[in-house]
Amino acid sequence: MNEVIRLLQNHRSIRKFTEQKLSEEQIEAIIKSAQMASTSSNVQAYSIIGVTDPQMKKELAHLAGDQKYVEECPIFFVFCADLHRIQTACRMREQEMMYQLMEPFIVSTVDAALAAQNAIVAAESMGLGGVYIGGIRNHPGAVSELLQLPPLVYPVFGMCIGYPAQDPLVRPRMRMEAIYHENTYDPGKYEKEIEHYDEVMKEYYIKRSNGKMQTTWSEQMAERFSKPVRAHMRKFLEERGFRFD
């Protein structure tokens, strides 16, 4: 196992940070690494907003469901799917942009995610840590207003980055067999794999919570998906100008 693979496989979400700020060089290394991720046909259909303003971080922490580490981290990155920049390019060439389809929505969302994963890997390679914040989709309209996003841009997720002030356990994943299929998809193995993972996660939660948390993965999924999650997203995205024809 080489150093890079060791780094990737040692990822933990960090939610407690020291007060130390990132240097300009570190921010540049993170963003330029993000930019070198692949992008569909070189469209580069994403933007990254680095929030360091204390009042803005406070508001974003609240909008993300009172996740105080969004306020406490030295820098909070927001990764946006972005068709606005391409629309600008089209206008410079006096061309109307066809943005109304599901395809550019997928492309821009994927572009934002690929860039983000490079960003967190770059950060971790420098001894920094972080956590993705999907919670900014709780109130995506207010987040978009705060960040002054133009039409055809939406915040996919945020990311707290800073120097770790905690050393959490690595959360176990499913067995490789549960995720990986050879040549064709085999759903027949899932019940066995889920039962196995339920046992692994039960032990992990007991260990992490000193015996207080007793649940399994399948219980968590059944609980989470028994009710609508962020049912406002379609309407929000349409308000931002996205279409899904």
Q: Which of residues 88-117 bind its own copies (CB under 8 A)?
A: 88-90, 92-99, 101-104, 106-107, 109-110, 113-114, 116-117
Best CA proximity match to 81, nearest among 29, 121, 39:
39
Instruction: Quote the least distance from Cβ 18 to its own copies, whole Å.
Output: 20
**List 21, 181, 207, 208, residue binding its own copies (CB under 8 A):** 181
| Contact status: 160 vs its own copies (CB under 8 A) | no
**List 24, 167, 180, 211, residue binding its own copies (CB under 8 A):** 180
| Contact status: 142 vs its own copies (CB under 8 A) | no
* Residues 237, 241, 242: CA angle, nearest 5 degrees: 55
59-78: which residues touch its own copies (CB under 8 A)? none
Q: What are the backbone angles phi and psi of residue 143, rounded to the nearest 5°?
A: -65, -45
**List 14, 71, 74, 118, residue binding its own copies (CB under 8 A):** 118
In DSSP terms, 195 is beta-bridged to: none
DSSP string, 58-110: HHHHHHTTS-HHHHHSSEEEEEEEE-HHHHHHHHHTT------SHHHHHHHHH
- C-alpha–C-alpha distance, residues 4 and 125, integer Å: 8
**Nearest CB to its own copies, comparing residues 151 and 165:** 151
**Nearest CB to its own copies, comparing residues 72 and 156:** 156
| Contact status: 1 vs its own copies (CB under 8 A) | yes
Is residue 149 within 8 A of residue 82, CB to CB? The reply is no
193-222: which residues touch its own copies (CB under 8 A)? 194-195, 217-222
Best CA proximity match to 89, nearest among 45, 148, 147:
45
**List 63, 70, 73, 131, residue binding its own copies (CB under 8 A):** 131
**List 18, 20, 23, 52, residue binding its own copies (CB under 8 A):** 52
